[in-house]
Structure 1
Amino acid sequence: MLAVFFVPLILINIGAVGGPWLLFALYITSGIGMAGIGMGIMHDANHGSYSKNQKVNKYLGYTMNLIGANATVWKIQHNVLHHTYTNIEGADDDINAPFFLRFSPHAKKNGLHRFQYLYIWFFYGMSTVSWVTTKDFIRLGRYRKIGFLNKKNEFRNELIKIIGWKLLYYSYALIIPLFIVPLPPWIIILAFLSMHFVTGLLISIIFQVAHIMPSTEFPLPDEEGVIEGDWFAHQLATTTNFAPKSRLFSWLIGGLNYQIEHHLLPNICHVHYKKISGIVADTALEYGIPYNTKRTFAGAIMDHIGVLRKLGKM
């Protein structure tokens, strides 16, 4: 996946591109690699589960920074807020959406939401453009306000790192190609955006169909801020697996079709999820806890669309 991402960009940066079709093909290929890094390398590494050696996890986690985002911000957003408060409105940052999207039945509704199942694909595709430009800065400031990054100089140091990594990313992903590639700037920028559109669409769909589904719940805390039930049952109630029999698909997306196993055991590498899944499913059955799964990825997408339509009408 690192090669799928970097080799096309290297070819672009050394001037091996003369026409727009090849430029788009290379950028789109790089976008597939970027999604692969996000799902199959960075994700495990930043959970501390890619390797038993934490230094390996630390340095492979920096692949997140190499593709324009920030590992520290992602760990707070994903490892802490999403994994701890899955599908809880106002706490799970994965379902906290801008006003034109509604991912929870408890979120405020407006007239635009009726059409979100139609236009959401554009915003899924453009999500990583926002991510590598503004989102990390916005989240860094917000997380500081709610109690993270409060050690001496921690916020300042992380802000400097974010700026430095993003300058590096934009240098080789866009700025150098603008000088090297003998094509109009608008074509190069459009090709760059096509790379991100592929990445954003792939990553958004994979993660969203795991939680925004007809079978998943969106629990609310009581007056004292307590969620009913235990954390493990909560993960099973708010998460769905999909396409569990497809080995190739599972490899391509870093085992994230086994989202239940990942949420229950995030410190275990994704290569073990398939074997673990049988144990988890049998245990859930034994205790009468739902084990949500969809046979195919296409079926999961259709169910996700159905939920988006329902959320737009509720």
Structure 2
Amino acid sequence: MLTFFFAPLIIINIGLVASQWLLFVLYITSGIGMAGIGMGIMHDAIHGSYSKHQKVNKYLGYTMNLIGANATVWKIQHNVLHHTYTNIEGADDDINAPFFLRFSPHAKKNKLHRFQHLYVWFFYGLSTISWVTAKDFIRLARYRKMGFLDKKNEFRNELIKIAAWKLFYYTYALVIPLFLVPLAPWIIILAFLSMHFVTGLLISIVFQVAHIMPDTEFPLPDDDGMVAGDWSAHQLATTTNFSPNSSFFSWLIGGLNYQIEHHLLPNICHVHYKKISGIVADTAREYGMPYHTKVNFLSAVKDHVKTLHKLGKIQSIPMQLELNFKNSKEQ
């Protein structure tokens, strides 16, 4: 995946690409590699499950920074908020969407949402370009207010690191090609955006299909900020597997078709999920607990579309949410 990402960019940066179609092919290929890094390398590494050696995990986690995002922000967003508060409106950042998208029945509804199942794909495609420009800065500031990054100078230092990594990324991914590729700048920028569109679409669909589905639940805390049931039961109720019989597809997306196993055992490398899944499924059946799975990716995407359509029509369910994020940051 690292080769898939960097090799096309190296070819582009050498300055030998004179065809706009070849430029687009190389950038889009790089986009597939970028998605692969995100799903198959960075994801495990930041969870601490890529290797039993934490230094290996630490340095491979920096592949997130290499592709323009930030490992620290992702760790808070994904490891803490998403994995702790899966599908809980206002707490799980994966379902905290801008006003034109609605990923929870508890989110405020507006007239645009009735069409979201049609236009959501465009915004999925824009997700990573937003990520590598403004989103990390916005989230870093918000997480600071939530009680994270509270050590002395931690926020300032991380802010400097984010800016430096993004400057490095944009330099090799866009600025150098603008100088060396003998094509109009708007063509190069459009090809660069096409790379991110492919990456954003792939990553967004894979992650969102696992949780925004007809059978998954969207629990709410009580007036004291407590969620009923235990954490493991919560993960089973809010998560869906898909395409469990395709080894190639599982490799391609870093084992994220086994989202149930990943949510229950995030410290285990994804290469073990297939073997573990049989044990988890049998145990869930034994205790009468849900184990949601779709036979293939296409059927999962279809159900995701149905859920988006339904969320665009149903009225909001009143909610009250006051969870203590600060106490969860070490989980």
Q: Secondary structure at the match of 1:228?
A: coil
Q: Indicate the residue corresponding to 2:202 in structure 1.
A: 202
Residue 191 (str. 1) matches residue 191 (str. 2): yes
**Any idea what the Cα deviations from partners look like across 1:279-314, whole Å, max 9, x if unmatched?**
000000011000000001000000000000000010
Q: Indicate the residue corresponding to 2:171 in structure 1.
A: 171
**Any idea what the Cα deviations from partners look like across 1:86-137, whole Å, max 9, x if unmatched?**
0000000000000000000000000000100011000000100000000000
Superposed CA RMSD in Å reads 0.3
Whole-angstrom CA distance in 1 between matches of 2:282 and 2:44: 25
Whole-angstrom CA distance in 2 between matches of 1:6 and 1:169: 12
* AA of the residue aligned to 1:184: A
The Cα shift of 1:50 comes to 0.2
* AA of the residue aligned to 1:66: L
**Any idea what the Cα deviations from partners look like across 1:135-189, whole Å, max 9, x if unmatched?**
0000000000000001000000000000000000000000000000000000000
Q: Indicate the residue corresponding to 2:101 in structure 1.
A: 101
TM-score, length-scaled by structure 2: 0.95
Q: Indicate the residue corresponding to 1:20 in structure 2.
A: 20
The Cα shift of 1:62 comes to 0.1
Q: Indicate the residue corresponding to 1:48 in structure 2.
A: 48
Whole-angstrom CA distance in 2 between matches of 1:146 and 1:40: 29
Q: Indicate the residue corresponding to 1:111 in structure 2.
A: 111
Q: Indicate the residue corresponding to 1:257 in structure 2.
A: 257
TM-score, length-scaled by structure 1: 1.00
The Cα shift of 1:16 comes to 1.9
Q: Indicate the residue corresponding to 1:217 in structure 2.
A: 217
The Cα shift of 1:210 comes to 0.1
Whole-angstrom CA distance in 2 between matches of 1:22 and 1:28: 10
The Cα shift of 1:201 comes to 0.2
Q: Indicate the residue corresponding to 2:11 in structure 1.
A: 11
Q: Secondary structure at the match of 1:219?
A: coil
* AA of the residue aligned to 1:43: H
Whole-angstrom CA distance in 2 between matches of 1:297 and 1:174: 33
Whole-angstrom CA distance in 2 between matches of 1:117 and 1:146: 32
Instruction: State how 1:269-308 maps to structure 2 within 5 Å.
Output: 269-308=269-308
**Any idea what the Cα deviations from partners look like across 1:217-273, whole Å, max 9, x if unmatched?**
000011111111000000000000000000000000000000000000000000000
Instruction: State how 1:72-87 maps to structure 2 within 5 Å.
Output: 72-87=72-87
Q: Secondary structure at the match of 2:236?
A: helix
**Any idea what the Cα deviations from partners look like across 1:10-64, whole Å, max 9, x if unmatched?**
0000112011000000000000000000000000000000000000000000000
* AA of the residue aligned to 1:264: L
Whole-angstrom CA distance in 2 between matches of 1:87 and 1:307: 14
Whole-angstrom CA distance in 2 between matches of 1:16 and 1:167: 24
* AA of the residue aligned to 1:102: R
Q: Indicate the residue corresponding to 1:61 in structure 2.
A: 61
User: What is the identity percentage for the equivalent residue pairs of Structure 1 and Structure 2?
Assistant: 83
* AA of the residue aligned to 1:298: L
Unmatched tracts of structure 1, length 5 or more: none
Instruction: Number of aligned residue pairs: give it.
Output: 314
* AA of the residue aligned to 1:297: F
Whole-angstrom CA distance in 2 between matches of 1:310 and 1:56: 43
Residue 160 (str. 1) matches residue 160 (str. 2): yes
Whole-angstrom CA distance in 1 between matches of 2:117 and 2:291: 26
Whole-angstrom CA distance in 2 between matches of 1:97 and 1:205: 14
Q: Indicate the residue corresponding to 1:310 in structure 2.
A: 310
Whole-angstrom CA distance in 1 between matches of 2:94 and 2:121: 16
Whole-angstrom CA distance in 1 between matches of 2:191 and 2:292: 38
Q: Indicate the residue corresponding to 2:135 in structure 1.
A: 135
Residue 32 (str. 1) matches residue 43 (str. 2): no
* AA of the residue aligned to 2:83: H
